[in-house]
Chains A and B, each alone.
Chain A
């Protein structure tokens, strides 16, 4: 009756959302095993073996797993899943791409993007971009589940000593080929895990005006987000997009600047702990979810905001 979790990593480090998925998976069943598929990923295996919630690691090492492809990972997972009741991974682009391919071959109706484990077979998940919550019960013998990482705390990473078992690779795929991955390099924290996020919308009026946002992000060590309107208008690249079709973020502080608050955007940020809205339209829907609303012209408010933050630092010194 144990649970098999698929780790996401780059052969050097575990991707942080794997730790959130570990927390959720151990709520489903305490007998949690982690499958690490990769090449020369010993550092990853060692790191996960020290996570106290993890009982066992199954390590598959082969050069064909240097780069992740769903077509390559799926046969290994399907084979390993024989001994498990649950196959679990995070519901980010990694897990969203991978898990349904596994579930179909196991003839299981996958439960996607759960935000709460109610009992081992019953879960809470958002539908309609978070405008409704559904409680669902899986009736399949073997269950495939993806976890919304921001709804669970990351598991602690020290004190454990999981058993490590090596096993063989499956045959390499000829269906698809990895070419390249262009990671967006940034000095700032990653949008998905940052404690503070400041986002700009169509109200920014141009890409150049995002320098006002950048200055505050530098001051607060915040990640920079954007609404779909700002991305579509070409002010900023799409990896900054927060919302139903972008990233879901749950920071301690979310500052929405010049964002009206379309349903799709709210779906990506309304679980944030504190929400600030700065908008000159007092009727904008964003104010209905904001803890602190400031009705003001952002071109005046943002420089003042920076000035006030600078003053704070002076006091602290």
Chain B
């Protein structure tokens, strides 16, 4: 079995994001970037499946600017076999990314495609489902447990009401939740070895995909600030304020 993992480079989740003064976006210069957190869970799950002997090869793919290949190198350092970097500048919307991934999948013919359930920059939560639609494959989104069977996967999904279990035929797309597993760290020797693993570069334009955004970004602004609150001295004062001032209890 072959597993393809799609990863995205985003602003690190510990960074306090700041809006640019001109309202065109958020500040990314000199800001720490890393792999989108649930994409790390996708990589980890693929590596775990390979360790059980059920997968022969893992390929990581990313779409983005030159530096996006850092996320591929990081994936290679924790057990991914080779990488593909599709170069694209500017905003690539999930629809364009899923069309690019479809082209890669036509060529690579993986049995499973894993990725994070959502990217923490645009918070779209679309790419996996769109890719599944374009390929006419089943989708198992928000996966918190994956059981590999002969020709299918049994996937536990985190839904609003609790947990849902579905069975999807292989080939399938799985989008991973943070609780699927605990991503491992790369060891220094493996980081060195990863530098020798193959990383292919392709231009998005060479794939014949129009990546021009369909959604016009008019402006980006700071969310409205909450007005400063007060500190209360005691529980009794807190309860009185909630009852008499805020009138919420």
Q: Which residues of A contact B (CB under 8 A)?
A: 69-71, 74, 92-94, 96-105, 107-113, 122, 126-140, 173-184, 192, 196, 220, 228, 231, 238-239, 244-245, 247, 252-253, 263-264, 270, 273-276, 282, 287-296, 301, 304-305, 308-309, 312
Q: Are A104 and B125 within 8 A (Cβ)? A: no
Q: Interface-forming stretch among B65-73, B191-199, B200-208, B238-246?
A: B238-246
The one of A93, A112, A177, A301 in contact with B166, judged by C-beta atoms closer than 8 angstroms, is: A177
Min C-beta distance of B136 to chain A, whole Å: 8
The answer to whether A263 and B16 touch (CB under 8 A), given A100-B125, A138-B214, A180-B164, is: yes
**Residue from A105, A228, A239, A273 in contact with B133 in the complex, judged by beta carbons closer than 8 Å:** A105
A176–B160 CB distance below 8 A: no
A308/B239 contact (C-beta < 8 A), A93-B159, A100-B94, A129-B120 known? yes
Asked if A134 contacts B154 (CB within 8 A), the reply is no
Subset of 26 A-B contacts with CB under 8 Å:
A93-B159, A96-B141, A97-B129, A99-B129, A100-B126, A100-B127, A100-B133, A104-B95, A104-B133, A111-B215, A112-B126, A127-B123, A128-B11, A134-B220, A174-B169, A175-B136, A182-B164, A182-B165, A273-B248, A282-B231, A292-B231, A293-B231, A294-B231, A295-B231, A304-B235, A309-B249
Task: Check A292/B139 contact, CB under 8 A, given A109-B214, A122-B218, A135-B218.
Answer: no
Given contacts A96-B125, A183-B161, A308-B235, contact A275 B221 (CB under 8 A): no
Complex alpha-carbon distance, A122 and B220, angstroms:
13
Does residue B158 face the partner (Cβ distance < 8 Å to A)?
yes
Contact at A275–B229, with CB atoms within 8 Å? yes
Q: A274 touching B159 by the CB < 8 A rule?
A: no
B148 an interface residue at 8 Å Cβ cutoff? Answer: no
Q: A111-B215, A275-B229 are in contact. Are A97 and B169 (CB under 8 A)?
A: no
Shortest beta-carbon distance, A111 to chain B, in Å? Answer: 6
In the bound complex, do residue B19 and residue A175 qualify as a contact, i.e. CB atoms below 8 Å apart? no
Q: Is the CB of B124 within 8 A of A184?
A: no
Shortest Cβ gap from A54 to chain B (Å): 23
Partner of A133, one of B154, B178, B222: B222
Known: A128-B11, A244-B120, A276-B242. A134 touches B94 (CB 8 A): no
B122 CB–A CB distance under 8 Å: yes
Q: What residues make up the interface of B, taking CB atoms closer than 8 Å to A?
A: 11, 13-14, 16-17, 19, 26, 38, 93-96, 98, 120-134, 136-142, 144, 154, 157-169, 177-179, 213-223, 226, 228-232, 234-236, 238-239, 241-243, 246, 248-249
**Contact indicator B242/A253 (Cβ below 8 Å):** yes
Beyond A183-B162, A308-B239, 18 extra complex contacts between A and B, CB < 8 Å: A70-B129, A103-B130, A109-B213, A110-B124, A126-B123, A128-B11, A128-B123, A132-B19, A136-B217, A138-B216, A139-B214, A177-B167, A178-B164, A183-B161, A247-B160, A294-B235, A296-B235, A309-B239
Chain B residues whose CB sits within 8 angstroms of the CB of A245 once the complex forms: 38, 177-178
Give A244's nearest chain B residue, CB to CB. B120
CB within 8 A of B138: which of A105, A131, A175? A175
The 7 closest A-B pairs by CB, nearest first: A100-B129, A109-B214, A104-B130, A175-B138, A100-B126, A104-B133, A291-B229
B223 proximity list for chain A (CB < 8 A): 126, 130-133
B162: chain A residues within 8 A (beta carbon): 181-184, 239
Q: A104-B95, A176-B138, A183-B162 are in contact. Are A305 and B235 (CB under 8 A)?
A: yes
Whole-angstrom distance between the alpha carbons of A9 and B230 in the complex?
A: 42
| Chain A residues in 8 Å Cβ range of B141 | 70, 93, 96-97
Q: In the complex, which of the residues A181, A304, A305 has the most CB atoms of chain B within 10 Å of its own CB atom?
A: A181
Q: In the complex, how many angstroms separate the beta carbon of B74 from the nearest chain A beta carbon?
A: 20
Tell me the nearest residue of chain B to A315, going by C-beta.
B243
Contact of A132 among B17, B95, B236 (CB under 8 A): B17
Given A101-B132, A136-B218, A292-B230: A238 in contact with B120 (beta carbons within 8 A):
no
What residues of chain B lie closer than 8 Å to A99, measured between beta carbons? 126, 129
- The answer to whether B248 and A305 touch across the interface, beta carbons within 8 angstroms, is no
Assess whether A112 is in contact with B248, with CB atoms less than 8 Å apart.
no
Structural contact, B220 and A139, CB atoms closer than 8 A: no
Q: Which residues of the partner chain A approach B142 to less than 8 Å between Cβ atoms?
A: 93, 96-97
Which of B126, B165, B219, B226 touches A270 (beta carbons < 8 Å)? B226
Task: Give Cα A293 to B229, complex, Å.
Answer: 7
Contacts of B248 in A (CB 8 A): 196, 252-253, 273-274
CB atoms of B249 and A312 under 8 A apart: yes
Q: Return chain B residues, CB-CB under 8 Å to A74.
A: 133
Using CB atoms, name the residue of chain B closest to A191: B160
A173 partner residues in chain B, CB cutoff 8 A: 138
The complex places the Cα of A290 from the Cα of B216 at a distance, in Å, of 35
> What's the Cα separation between A253 and B239 when bound, in Å?
12
CA gap between A302 and B192 in the complex, in Å? 52
Q: Take A103-B95, A134-B219, A137-B218 as given contacts and tell me if A179 and B238 are in contact as well, using a CB distance cutoff of 8 Å.
A: no
Chain A residue nearest to B132 in the complex (CB): A101
